[in-house]
Structure 1
Amino acid sequence: MIELTSRIDGETFKLFYLEEKLKPLGYTIGGGWDYDHGSFDYKIDDEVGYQFLRVPFVAVDGALDTKGTTVRIQKPLLLSHKYQIGLDDHVHVGNLKASIDQFAEPQDPDAQFPEKYVDLGCSLVRELEEVLLK
């Protein structure tokens, strides 16, 4: 994980506004969101797992599933997730979760981020600053 310095860190926006601005640029709402925090993710590559820019945020007023919620952007991160090949090694007979969730556990959820994508991540953050801080 690499934290990136950005002028959007600490800025507040309506969540709906962020969705309108970021989704056309290729960002998706990260799968690990909760009612008080979440992230926008931009997939950079899927080389041996996947690499992405994550823009985390926290709710300032209300829950994320509430209309009109304001969120505060936190420090953008470059992340790399490396998934194991094959079946989930934590599955055992009688494991109810395994019968529902068939995805393998990450081999390394915080793998080394490839150096060749750091400049791209920095340019994506500059693009975010231009789009959001007009």
Structure 2
Amino acid sequence: MKFENTGLENLRVDFDRLNYICRSHKLVLAGQWDYERVTFDRKFDLKEGTYYLRVLGYAVEGDVGSSEATIQLMSPLLGKYYYPHGVEYGEGESFPPSLIETCEKVLADLKNEIEQFTV
């Protein structure tokens, strides 16, 4: 599921600042990055299954590996985990309404905080 019009799309922010803000909202970078792209995930374990909220971005300046980058954010995604295949983000997935509501709140809070530091 793609979250459209969150206000995060097209925001640009310093990578270190973004990493700090995302961690404060339980979005983890872990190993999901390369020198041009970053992915922050938040895991939700519910009785209906395991879900991931994903915030994506790419470097428009600099290099993520050196932590000297300006990141352009993209539309966030919500996916469901299926063992052993991985996470599916397709439009055919169904998500608990309470999870969608929680994710929308997290994204709104994230946007409000990031907007203070946009480049």
Distance 1:5 1:21 in 2: 20
Which residue of structure 1 aligns with residue 39 of structure 2? 39
| TM-score, scaled to structure 1 | 0.72
Cα distance, 1:83–1:47 mapped onto 2, change above 3 Å: farther
Q: State the Cα deviation string for residues 80-121 of structure 1 (Å, max 9, x = none).
A: 12113xxxxxxxxxxxxxxxxxxxxx1x53162423311111
Higher relative contact order (CA 8 A, sep 6+): 2
Unaligned runs of 5+ in 2: none
Q: State the Cα deviation string for residues 12-66 of structure 1 (Å, max 9, x = none).
A: 1110001121212211015332221121111222556521211100011122102
Which residue of structure 2 aligns with residue 114 of structure 1? 95
Q: After alignment, is 40-49 or 16-25 more displaced?
A: 40-49
Which residue of structure 2 aligns with residue 66 of structure 1? 66
Q: After alignment, is 55-64 or 27-36 more displaced?
A: 27-36
| 2:56 counterpart SS class | strand
Distance 1:43 1:66 in 2: 26
- Report if aligned partners of 1:21, 1:131 keep a CA contact under 8 Å in 2: yes
CA-atom RMSD in angstroms: 2.1
Unaligned runs of 5+ in 1: 85-105
Distance 2:4 2:29 in 1: 19
Cα distance, 1:81–1:30 mapped onto 2, change above 3 Å: farther
How many residues align? The count is 112
- Report if aligned partners of 2:12, 2:71 keep a CA contact under 8 Å in 1: yes
Which residue of structure 2 aligns with residue 53 of structure 1? 53
Aligned mate of 1:133, from 107, 115, 118 = 115
Q: After alignment, is 15-24 or 110-119 more displaced?
A: 110-119
Please tell me whether Structure 1 or Structure 2 has the larger radius of gyration of its CA atoms.
Answer: 1
- Report if aligned partners of 2:29, 2:41 keep a CA contact under 8 Å in 1: yes
Q: Does 1:82 align with 2:82?
A: yes
Q: After alignment, is 38-47 or 53-62 more displaced?
A: 38-47
